Amino acid sequence: MTSAQRAGTLAVAAGPFRALLGATGADDLLAWLALELGHAGAIDEWVDYGKGRTKAFAPETILHVVSGNTPHAALQSIVGGLLLGSRNLVKLPRGGIAEIGDFVTRLPEELRAKVQTAEELPPGWLAEAEAVVVYGSDETVARFRGLASPSQIFIGYGHKASLGVIWDDPHFVSCDGAARDASLFDQQGCLSPQVFYVRDTPSGFAREYAEHLASAMDRFNRTHPRGPLTTEEKAAIANLRAAYRFRAAGDLRVALWEGGANLDWTVVYEEDAWFPASPLNRVIFVKPLPEGLPSSIGPASEYIGAVGLFPCTEELADRFAALRPSRFCAIGRMQDPHWTWHNGGVPRLASLVKWVDFES
Amino acid sequence: MQEEAANPEAQVLSWIRGDRRAEFGDAALQLHACHFRHNTPYRLFCEQQGVGESVKSWRQIPCVPQEAFKHADLRSFPAGQTAKTFRTSGTTGEGFGQHHFRTLEIYETAVREGWRLAGMPRGPFLVIAPHPDEAPHSSLSHMLGVLAPRESFIAPQGVIDLARLSSLGEPVCLLGTALGFLHLFESMDRQKISLRLPSGSCAMETGGYKGSGRTISRADLYALFGNKLGIDPADICNEYGMTELSSQFYARGPRGLHRGPFWARAVIADPVTLEEVGEGETGIVLIYDAANVGSVVGIRTRDLAIKRGDAFELLGRDPAALPRGCSRSADEWFGA
């Protein structure tokens, strides 16, 4: 199969997952290849490169270690591997990922044969892989990095957290988008914002924004209810609410909005800039935007995945570039990265291939 | 309206020492009334909850979240009368909790009486934890200092005196943190030291692994005690306590259940409704500690446990540290 044929087939199989994957037409996939490899057919044929020619060689076999809380990341990883023509060994979390099984059954036989899944890592998979891609906690990434050999390509996607910056929104038009960003996937993904920093102009605006965001969270929840919670997750949210309830009783710089007895959503307004501990699952903090955002938010500044902006301008992105996210985007689109997104700051396809040059 | 005790400290002290004329409920209600009047953050919290100075049952006393000790001065007496302040382990940015005491007499009596009532060993002790002089703000060090004399502390500046352990002629009771014991076992491994403590030796371990990036089940830890020191896992106890409390709960053996003294109650509750869960069900641990005379009676902990009769099976000390895939909770950065 050529890259174009694989793109066409993958586009059909990925069609039903558009909500998770975004635009997945054959053209989108080929454009992704062309952008990262310089030519959509760079895997199939020699292409011009400087004074000579070059060809990209995809790994024979890729081991994907994926986490269950972000099925879209797992799907994207497999789609990328298949697009390159590699064989894909997928280590799933315990309990599997329903979307992966569904996607694989939709593949034609030739591509289906290139995907194997397992919930326990079979002996030999790691050694067999030419490239290893790991999504998970820092500990998981470090463990696999330690196990991989120096000759293997290793790409690890560890802990990340995201935030939003509301720079100028006097009419609160970004609130619905912010609620969507903070609610989709129940904040389990690295693109999920945990804090919105709001420019407090005029004074008191950030608190007012929190109140509007709470209404938006409630509206979103009515059409997109939160997923089930474990007892531990319930306890974590309930404990956080109790702690902020206590603080709000005696401190006007703190406020709390609670959605429903089922812990549907929680908005906390707090004046200090520290990026706080969040139990996730639709618990979102709103804080006045401090001077010098990176240095004010604490150790979290080293782990920022995406920054949502309102308005979304390059000028604002430059202003917050010191956060070193791998993505600036519009509030409301934080969960919809382009296929071409440099996740972790690296090109996802280009990082997997090896180039062979031909000089006549 | 509850009568405020004329001298709540003296009354509680007498009660803990064995004057059984008082009942837990009466004592807790009197303390709540006292705290309501003299502790402004607590009163504001009660009023927010719709609770006044007078409540009918100790279960109606609001439980202050553990984290509140980081943000509020939960002191039910004038600040100038503070005799001692214990601090929780601090983390950059989020601060540390503080528990103030007007007198340590009740705290120390509760430690000794609680230890005795739980049938804990009388000693001699060896302590693998900082002495109170090294950690003046640590309630755990203070508690261990109440139980064991200074010469029992065998880890000055964090260096464990293995020679003391190697030359014991009589059974001993080791006291320390779970992390401290892990360090001991690792030191023994590094130095290739193998020990069998005298028959009849035992141990008490406490604390979790927060901030250390390590975790080990109680059963595995106790198995290490067996392998490394020859202590039978059945002779090891776990202490459940915290800076915000004045009383301790003890469990014996790897599957032991925690129980407290008569002046404290643990309720395993639904985290949302705070209703007590049914037998065998999981909930958060609420502690009502009538030895907390100078602060607040009810504490809402972050810990999870299973209700087992009048006791509880502790599930872990930090349920907020949940696996979060690639979404990083700040807990993991802060080690909080």
What digits encode the pLDDT tens for the residues B136-166? Answer: 999 999 999 999 999 999 998 888 888 888 8
**Distance from the A49 Cα atom to the nearest Cα atom in chain B, whole angstroms:** 37
Q: Residue A113 above 60 pLDDT?
A: yes
pLDDT tops 60 at residue A250: yes
pLDDT band for position B6 (50/70/90)? low
CA distance B153 to chain A (A): 35
Domains in chain B, ordered, with CATH? Answer: 104-259 (3.40.50)
Nearest residue of A to residue B268, measured between CA atoms: A235
Cβ-defined contact of B304 to A232 (cutoff 8 Å): yes
User: What DSSP element (H or E) covers A165?
Assistant: strand A161-166
pLDDT tens, B158-202? Answer: 888 888 888 888 999 999 999 889 989 998 999 888 889 999 999
Average pLDDT, chain A: 93
* CATH superfamily of the A3-159 domain: Aldehyde Dehydrogenase; Chain A, domain 1 (3.40.605.10)
| Residue A207, number of CB atoms within 10 A of its CB | 20
What confidence score (pLDDT) does residue B321 get?
A: 38
- B49-81 pLDDT, tens digit per residue, is 999 999 999 999 999 999 999 999 999 999 999
Q: Which helix (H) or strand (E) holds B8?
A: helix B8-16
pLDDT (0 to 100) of residue A138: 84
- pLDDT tens digit string along A33-49? 999 999 999 999 999 99
* Kind plus residue range of the DSSP H or E element containing A199: none
Residue A297, judged by CB atoms within 10 A of its CB (0-12, 13-18, 19+), counts as: buried
Dihedral of CA atoms B37, B40, B41, B44 in degrees, nearest 10, equals 70
Write out pLDDT tens, residues A295-354. 898 888 888 999 999 999 999 999 999 999 999 999 999 998 888 889 889 999 999 999
Dihedrals φ, ψ of A258, to 5°?
-120, 125
Name the strand (E) or helix (H) holding A269. strand A265-270
Q: Can A3-159 and A161-330 be said to share one CATH topology?
A: no
Question: Which chain B residue lies closest to A192 (C-alpha atoms)?
Answer: B327
Residue of A nearest to B270 (CA): A235
pLDDT at A158 over 90: no
Q: What is the model's pLDDT at position B20?
A: 77
pLDDT at residue B335, rounded to an integer: 31
Nearest-neighbour CA in chain A from B207: distance (Å): 19
Q: Does B325 contact A at CB distance below 8 Å?
A: yes
Instruction: Average the pLDDT over A152-159 and give the result.
Output: 92
Indicate yes or no: CB of A251 within 8 angstroms of CB of B71. Answer: yes
Rounded percentage of chain B residues whose pLDDT exceeds 70:
89
Split at pLDDT 50, 70, 90, the class of A94 is confident
Nearest chain B CA: its distance from A46 CA (Å): 38
pLDDT exceeds cutoff 90 at B336: no
Count CA within 13 A, CB hemisphere, residue B237.
21
Q: Is B317 on the interface with A (CB under 8 A)?
A: no
Q: How far is the C-alpha of B247 from the C-alpha of B143, rounded, in Å?
A: 10
- Cα–Cα distance, B28 to B1 (Å, whole number): 14
Instruction: Return the pLDDT at B334.
Output: 26
Q: Please tell me which residue of chain B has the smallest CA distance to A67.
A: B325
Which residues of chain B lie closer than 8 angstroms to A298, CB-CB? 92-93, 330, 333
More confident residue, B116 or B6: B116
| Contact yes or no for B274/B286 (Cβ under 8 A) | yes
With cut-offs at 50, 70 and 90, classify the pLDDT of residue B42: very high
What percentage of chain B carries pLDDT values higher than 90?
Answer: 72
Domain A161-330 architecture:
3-Layer(aba) Sandwich (3.40)
Residue spans of the domains in chain A: they are 3-159, 161-330
CA distance A160 to chain B (A): 5
Q: CA triplet A157, A162, A166: central angle to 5 degrees?
A: 155
Cα distance from A191 to chain B (closest Cα, Å)?
8
Q: Do the Cβ atoms of B324 and A69 come within 8 Å? A: yes
3-state helix vs strand vs coil in chain B, percent to 5: 30, 20, 45
Interchain pair B272, A279: CB under 8 A: no
Residues of B in contact with A234 (CB under 8 A): 271-272
pTM, entire model: 0.87
* CB-closest option in A190, A277, A298 to B331: A277
Buried residues in A35-52 as b, exposed as e (16+ CB within 10 A): bbbebbbbbbeebebeee
Say which of A160, A236, A275 has its CB closest to residue B319.
A236
Is B2's pLDDT higher than 60?
Answer: no
Residue B3 reports pLDDT greater than 60 = no
d(C-alpha B125, C-alpha B129), whole Å: 12
Facing A263 at nearest CB: one of B44, B92, B272: B272
pLDDT at B209 > cutoff 70: no
Question: Mean pLDDT throughout A56-69?
Answer: 92
